[in-house]
Amino acid sequence: MSEPQSTIDFHTTRYEYDDGWTVAVDLGTPAVDDTDVSVDSVGETAVVSLETATLTTEFDVDLPEAEYRTRIRNGVLVVEGTEEETRETRNE
């Protein structure tokens, strides 16, 4: 039986722009793709689950807003939101 892995700190970078925001999380390897990662939301928190052949973990990422879209590129999870999406959500 393998021992549980210690907590992993993924490098996270946050950018705020006039028309939106971006949060980028380096998942540590370019081999990670969309099938290895799932992102669910609880309010303004993204719950990220990562499952590869060598790593299984789950962690939370605080976001500026609850509405966002995600993509994976070269092992980096990119979470983005725009002011337009935020305004539309608030007006509903």
What CATH number is attached to the domain comprising 55?
A: 2.60.40.790
Q: Does the residue 2 lie in any domain?
A: no
Write the CB contacts of 11 (distance below 8 Å, at least 6 apart in sequence). Answer: 25, 26
Give the total number of structural domains in the chain.
1
The continuous run of DSSP H or E covering 3 comes out as none
Mean per-residue pLDDT of the chain: 82
Q: Does the residue 73 lie in any domain?
A: yes
Instruction: Please tell me the predicted confidence (pLDDT) of residue 49.
Output: 93
Other beta carbons within 10 Å of 77 = 23
Q: Does the residue 6 lie in any domain?
A: no
- Residues 30-41, mean pLDDT to the nearest whole number: 87
Lowest mean pLDDT among 13-22, 27-36, 50-59, 70-79: 27-36
Q: Does the residue 74 lie in any domain?
A: yes
- Residue-wise burial string across 21-34, b where 16 or more C-beta atoms lie within 10 A, e elsewhere: bbbebebeeeebee
The boundaries of the domain holding residue 75 are 11-91
Write out the two tokens for 73. 């590129």
Instruction: Please tell me the predicted confidence (pLDDT) of residue 17.
Output: 92
pTM exceeds 0.85 for this model: no
User: Is the model's pLDDT at 77 over the cut of 80?
Assistant: yes
